[in-house]
């Protein structure tokens, strides 16, 4: 619906631009100065009511062609459909990542929002620090997250796939790195994802990941939580199912062993201004911690 209205605006504006530019180019070429020609003099004009009224009518018609569809969409989008069956989520903006909670499902994740296809999603938006703006262009318009204020936004994914988003309000050094993605599933795949997210973390079986769990409990629990373990930090993202996510650092890097190690070695070099400090981990600690984080699926 929004795309169709946008295309109407693009077509009208493009037509006006081409007509205006064409007339301008024609006038420049037609009435250019030529060698040997005397300077032309033109009679003064004192108004042309027919031309003026015609131009006003054409401009009014063009504005109506743009305005009417936009107003219709504005009113249609003001209230979400099917509220009784809507999926309600909470979106919290933080420097520089996104926290997504599903209160009715008791699920919490970060930076990757999973939704079912064909179902209305109603989001409650707030921020824990500065102003952010939630924006997934192919699903919904922008909505600001403002300190001490709660905003609401609704959208619906009509086709399965990944929809990319971005914080659209400058919020500090890593504003451009505050990305997100919405993963739209069919109902069965979404239910499977929810079931997986509702489980607690399983204890690792191999020795390297077990050592990584020890390193995690020693260095990371003040900021991060892993359900089923003593880790219950609230500063950074919940990592219970970190290994199942497609990206890390709020969509900045693919979730791979090399990128996890790069992040652990020096978070500031990857995302300037990040609240995660350089913990000074050894190579062995980074290797084992990477294995543990990948195990969390």
Query: Is residue 94 packed enough to be buried (19+ CB in 10 Å), middle (13-18) or exposed (0-12)?
Result: buried
Are domains 83-197 and 207-295 of this chain identical in fold?
yes
Mean pLDDT along residues 56-70: 91
Q: Specify the residue for token string 């301008």.
A: 24
The per-residue pLDDT of the chain, averaged, comes to: 92
As a three-state string, the secondary structure of 52-101 is HHHHHHHHHHHHHHHHHHHHHHHHHHCCCCCHHHCEEEEEEEECCEEEEE
Mean pLDDT along residues 68-92: 84
Are the C-beta atoms of residues 261 and 287 closer than 8 Å to each other?
Answer: yes
Q: What is the C-alpha separation between 52 and 46, in angstroms, rounded? A: 12
The CATH code of domain 207-295 reads 2.60.40.420
- Nearest residue to 69 via CA among 142, 12, 144, 143: 12
| pTM of the predicted protein model | 0.78
pLDDT for 85 beyond 90: no
Q: How does pLDDT run across 140-150, given as a tens digit for each residue? A: 889 999 999 99
Q: How does pLDDT run across 2-58, given as a tens digit for each residue? A: 778 888 899 999 999 999 999 999 999 988 877 777 666 667 777 788 888 998 999
Q: What is the C-alpha separation between 225 and 234, in angstroms, rounded? A: 7
Residue 134's φ and ψ, nearest 5 degrees, are -85, 125
Strand partners, 264: none
Q: How does pLDDT run across 255-276, given as a tens digit for each residue? A: 999 999 999 999 999 999 999 9
Mean pLDDT along residues 286-294: 97
Question: How far apart, in Å, are the Cα atoms of 136 and each of 156, 183, 248, 286?
Answer: 11, 11, 18, 34
Domain positions in the chain: 1-19+49-78, 83-197, 207-295
Q: What pLDDT does 83 receive?
A: 80
Which CATH number, 3.30.70.3270, 1.10.3720.10, 2.60.40.10, 2.60.40.420, labels domain 83-197?
A: 2.60.40.420
Instruction: Summarize the chain as % helix, strand, coil (round to 5).
Output: 40, 20, 40
Residue 112's φ and ψ, nearest 5 degrees, are -125, 110
């Amino acid at each position: 619906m929004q795309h169709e209205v946008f295309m109407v605006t693009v077509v009208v504006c493009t037509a006006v631009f081409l007509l205006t530019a064409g007339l301008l180019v024609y006038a420049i070429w037609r009435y250019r100065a030529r060698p040997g020609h005397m300077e032309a003099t033109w009679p003064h004009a004192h108004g042309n009511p027919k031309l003026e009224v015609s131009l006003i009518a054409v401009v009014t018609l063009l504005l109506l062609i743009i305005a009417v569809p936009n107003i219709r969409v504005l009113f249609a989008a003001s209230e979400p459909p099917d509220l009784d069956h809507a999926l309600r989520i909470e979106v919290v903006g933080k420097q520089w990542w996104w926290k997504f909670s599903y209160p009715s499902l008791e699920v919490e994740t970060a930076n990757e929002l999973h939704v079912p296809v064909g179902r209305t999603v109603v989001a409650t938006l707030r921020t824990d620090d500065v102003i952010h703006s939630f924006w997934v262009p192919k699903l919904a318009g922008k909505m600001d997250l403002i300190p001490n204020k709660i905003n609401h936004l609704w959208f619906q994914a009509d086709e399965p796939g990944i929809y990319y988003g971005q914080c659209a309000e400058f919020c500090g050094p890593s504003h451009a790195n505050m990305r997100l993605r919405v993963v739209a599933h069919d109902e069965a795949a979404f239910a499977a994802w929810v079931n997986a997210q509702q489980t607690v973390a399983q204890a690792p079986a191999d020795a390297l990941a077990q050592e990584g769990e020890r390193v995690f409990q020693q260095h990371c629990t003040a900021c991060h939580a892993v359900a089923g373990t003593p880790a219950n930090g609230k500063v950074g993202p919940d990592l219970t199912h970190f290994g199942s996510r497609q990206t890390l650092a709020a969509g900045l890097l693919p979730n791979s062993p090399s990128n996890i190690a790069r992040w652990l070695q020096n978070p500031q070099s990857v995302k300037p201004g990040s609240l995660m400090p350089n913990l000074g981990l050894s190579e062995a600690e980074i290797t084992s911690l990477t294995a543990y984080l990948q195990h969390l699926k």
